[in-house]
Homo-oligomer: A and B are copies of this chain.
Amino acid sequence: MATNLRPDIALAQRLFDALRETTFDGVGVTREAYGRGEEIAHALVRAEAERLGLEISVDFAGNMYMTLPGTDRSLPRIILGSHLDSVPQGGNYDGAAGVLCGMAVVAGMRQAGFTPTRDVTVMAIRAEEGGAWFNGFPGSRGALGSFPPENLSILRPDTGLSLEHHMRELGFDPDALRQGRKHLLPEAVAAYVELHIEQGPVLDAEEIPMGLVTALPGNRRIRRGIVRGEWNHSGATPRAYRHDAALALAEFAHRLDQFWGALEAEGVPLVITFCTITTTDQAGFGKVPGEITFSLDVRAPELATLDRAYAEIERLIAEISAARGVSFALEGRQASVPTPMDAKLREALRQSAEAMGIAHKIMPSGGGHDAAAFAQAGIPAAMVFVRNQNGSHTPLEDMRMEDFAAATAAITHWCAKAAAA
């Protein structure tokens, strides 16, 4: 490894500034998947890659690959990347940090005159945040041939047009996704490493700049749960005659929270969130609620934990329904499996962090990321978290450049070794 090999953090800083300036929406940044903001971001990064003289290509899903060629191009390559889209009125770092980390690493290699043995590719992935409506990561899963074809017809709520329409509009090829064509062959990728802000408060609270992720969580979701009881007069209906949907849901939520507390005490990682709870339009002052809706998000890095949680959910629902004379309907169920990150790759990155004297924490991820698609395709995948401030998916989202620089330095250290091997 060249001793003068350092990531070009100034380049990353320049790109962060340009991204914020060009995609600021008055409140936060908006880089909508397969939309204007994402296009701006891709153009900005592409111009920088051209200046660096990287090889540039775009696949049928619109992902961009910016490659520093290795001396032996037949060797499986290293991919450093993340997504360039954002949620509406989001922060500047969620996604972009991972792409600009890759740019800083290869720019540093170029400047140090370092030529890797194998290709090092920076990948700017499409539509990770689109996942909220474009279910299933059309960017990363599209490249890997694992995108569920039925999701191509999901409509984007703000435009009322399908994912397929939006992809085609920009000149990409949704038919390739439908056919499950693979732009990336797993055997041709030695490692996928994604730097990302943590999104949660753990690293910031514990004053650790960098995290190394053990696993991405699986989830089980109920997008639309409905508790049905009986509408009654709130004064004239004694307790014994009630079938109060709201109190049934309160009991369910509180007892599930107590179950979670017990698992937490055992040290089992899990999060449970009733994201929305709403009595229906029929509700009003003076009425016992006959109906209430909710949505429930359960995530854990272990499949067994999700199974335990859902066994408890079913037990509670059966017990509460019988005791209170109400019924629960669970609609819009979704599930994904937890995905462990590659242990060897994590250990190699940990050694690099240690060699550079960078404090780090081994931790599970709370959110889902493109890295899951790579790991599920059999590619060794790793995620490096950077501590962030004020949460994510909010204009208040923040990240210190010195923390980004530290994590990027560790990745550069690892990459120089791995790309030379």
Contact = CB atoms under 8 A, between A and B. Distances in A.
Contact of A233 (B235, B246, B366): B366
A22 interface: no
- Specify the main secondary structure of chain A where it touches its partner: mixed
Contacts of A327: none
Nearest to A270: B239
A189 interface: no
Contact of A284 (B199, B237, B253, B276): B276
Interface stretch (A60-68, A161-169, A386-394): A386-394
Question: Chain A contact residues (Cβ within 8 angstroms of B): what range?
Answer: 35 or more
A274 interface: yes
A233 B285 contact: no
Contact of A283 (B232, B255, B275): B275
B250 A257 contact: yes
Given A132-B286, A254-B250, A279-B278, A239 B223 contact: no
Interface string A272-290: 0111111100011111110
B234 A297 contact: yes
A408 interface: no
Nearest to A263: B239
Contacts of A286: 132, 275, 297, 393
29 contacts: A132-B285, A201-B232, A223-B285, A233-B391, A233-B393, A235-B365, A236-B365, A236-B367, A237-B271, A237-B391, A238-B271, A239-B260, A239-B271, A240-B264, A247-B253, A247-B254, A247-B274, A250-B274, A250-B277, A251-B254, A273-B289, A275-B283, A275-B288, A275-B289, A276-B279, A276-B285, A277-B278, A277-B279, A277-B289
Given A231-B394, A233-B367, 18 more contacts: A200-B241, A233-B366, A233-B391, A235-B366, A236-B365, A236-B366, A239-B260, A247-B254, A247-B274, A250-B251, A250-B254, A251-B257, A276-B279, A276-B284, A276-B285, A277-B279, A277-B289, A286-B297
